[in-house]
Amino acid sequence: MRVEHIGLATLCLGKWQDVPNLPRPAAIITDPPYGQKLKTNSGVRSPRPRPGRSGILKPRAIPYPEGIIGDDKPFDPSSILCLSDIVLLWGAHKFADRLPQGQFLCWDKIPTGTRRDQGDGEAAWINAPGRPMRIFRHLWNGICTGAGYETKNEFSHNTSAQRRVHPTQKPVDLMAWCIEQARVPSGGLILDPYMGGGSTGIAAVRAGHPFIGVECEPQYFDAACRRIEKAQTQLRAA
């Protein structure tokens, strides 16, 4: 198993079930595959740049691996629920019938009120029954996201400047909000067993949390390493 140590982050290439001596984290915050059989390369074109309306070259969509590993069958959360006292799972509206009592969080992807063909939002579940539902409003639409997509100004985002490194990538601001909603203790270890492009890891290290991320697809693992390394370089320079 390949393991990379990048500042506060320990990143493992493989399946989380195969990571030896995986410590019990203060919280698990993750976006698992949940059986939508997503065809990630559908409509993907050449990665060569193309001119935009302004004449500036914009990157085409990057080619993804065919499908997401584990996405070909319904997600069973039972193996994860016992791994930490705090568990937060995205996509929970897809497997709500397999979850115990808890609370839902909502991500409004179109705060402008426009209807989105793929759905206007997404739900997460946290094992904290009795808490009020909370909503995070953050524009996130289309293959690309704007240059300010990691800022805290939720209405400033556009869909023209940056490429996603993972087809179901979450905004870093959303994952930072999740850490707040989960009430992770100061300095508590955060585990993401389905790390994808590393957004949870970026949010964790920015908040001063040690982080363990596990991803089984090499392309996404390498992208997460680059993004988390960049985030920690920026922290050291600040």
pLDDT of residue 52: 55
Q: What is the 3-state secondary structure (H, E, C) of 35-101?
A: CCCCCCCCCCCCCCCEECCCCCEECCCCCCCCCCCCCCCCCCCHHHHCCCCCEEEECHHHCHHHCCC
> Is residue 24 predicted with pLDDT exceeding 50?
yes
For residue 53, the model assigns a pLDDT of: 56
Residue type for 16, please?
Answer: W
The helix, strand and coil proportions of the chain, stated in percent and rounded to the nearest 5, come to 20, 20, 55
Which two three-digit tokens encode residue 139?
A: 């524009």
Q: Is the pTM of this model over 0.85?
A: no
Question: What is the three-class DSSP state of 142?
Answer: coil
Q: What is the pLDDT of residues 8-20, one digit of tens each?
A: 999 999 999 999 9
Which residues lie across from 163 on neighbouring strands? 144
The pLDDT-based confidence of 46 (bands split at 50, 70, 90) is very low
Can you name the residues that pair with 6 across neighbouring β-strands?
A: 9
Assign 17 to helix, strand or coil.
helix
Instruction: Indicate which CATH number applies to the domain containing 77.
Output: 3.40.50.150
Instruction: Please determine, for residue 61, whether its predicted confidence score (pLDDT) is greater than 50.
Output: yes
- State CA 137 to chain mean position distance: 16
* Long-range contacts at 214-217 (CB < 8 A, ≥ 24 apart): 214/11, 214/12, 214/14, 214/15, 214/16, 214/19, 215/11, 215/12, 215/13, 216/13, 216/14, 216/15, 216/69, 216/70, 217/65, 217/68, 217/69
Sheet containing 87-90: which strands, arranged edge to edge? Answer: 2-6, 9-13, 211-215, 190-192, 27-30, 87-90, 121-126, 103-108, 134-137
| Residue-wise pLDDT tens digits, 126-165 | 999 999 999 998 877 654 343 344 444 333 344 334 467 8
The CA–CA distances, whole Å, from 67 to 3, 35, 73, 110, 196 equal 24, 11, 12, 26, 13
Q: Torsion angle of alpha carbons 197, 69, 126, 158, nearest 10°? A: 40
- At 173-191, the pLDDT tens digits run 999 999 999 999 999 999 9
**What's the pLDDT score for residue 143?**
44
Q: How many domains does the chain have?
A: 1
What's the domain range around 193?
Answer: 2-237
Tokens of 216: 């089984």
